[in-house]
Amino acid sequence: MSFQQIIEAKLTEAFAPERLMVINESHLHAGHQESFDGSGETHMRVRIVSAAFAGMSRVARHRAINELLKPELDAGLHALAVEPSAPGEATRW
């Protein structure tokens, strides 16, 4: 299973989102380090809308997602951009 698939499965199970997008942005970071060509799954963006986030602060939402995905971060996922929202909140996507 790819990081993207694992992340999607974990977020779906933990937060039952009504909207979820996991986007591999690794290619956007090619050349940031001399040895990195932008391939693989090192940089991901998570866009998620879930009722589980209602009443949670933005920091608490980020912490919950980062805690859930800690094994992937420890296994080589270098960067995780998170855009969490509760239903009815404005999103930029």
Per-residue model confidence as pLDDT tens digits over 5-60: 999 999 999 999 999 999 998 756 454 555 545 456 678 999 999 999 999 999 99
- Distance, in Å, from the CA atom of 12 to the CA atom of 32, rounded to the nearest integer, reads 31
Question: Thinking of the domain 3-32+48-85, which architecture would CATH place it in?
Answer: 2-Layer Sandwich (3.30)
- Distance, in Å, from the CA atom of 12 to the CA atom of 20, rounded to the nearest integer, reads 8
Higher pLDDT, 41 or 90: 90
pLDDT of residue 26: 73
- Distance, in Å, from the CA atom of 53 to the CA atom of 3, rounded to the nearest integer, reads 23
Q: What is the pTM of this model?
A: 0.85
Q: How distant, in Å, are the alpha carbons of 5, 11, 78 from that of 68?
A: 14, 8, 15
pLDDT of residue 29: 47
pLDDT of residue 33: 54
**pLDDT by residue (tens digit) across 54-86?**
999 999 999 999 999 999 999 988 889 999 999
Show the DSSP H helices in 1-93 as ranges: 3-15, 58-68, 70-74
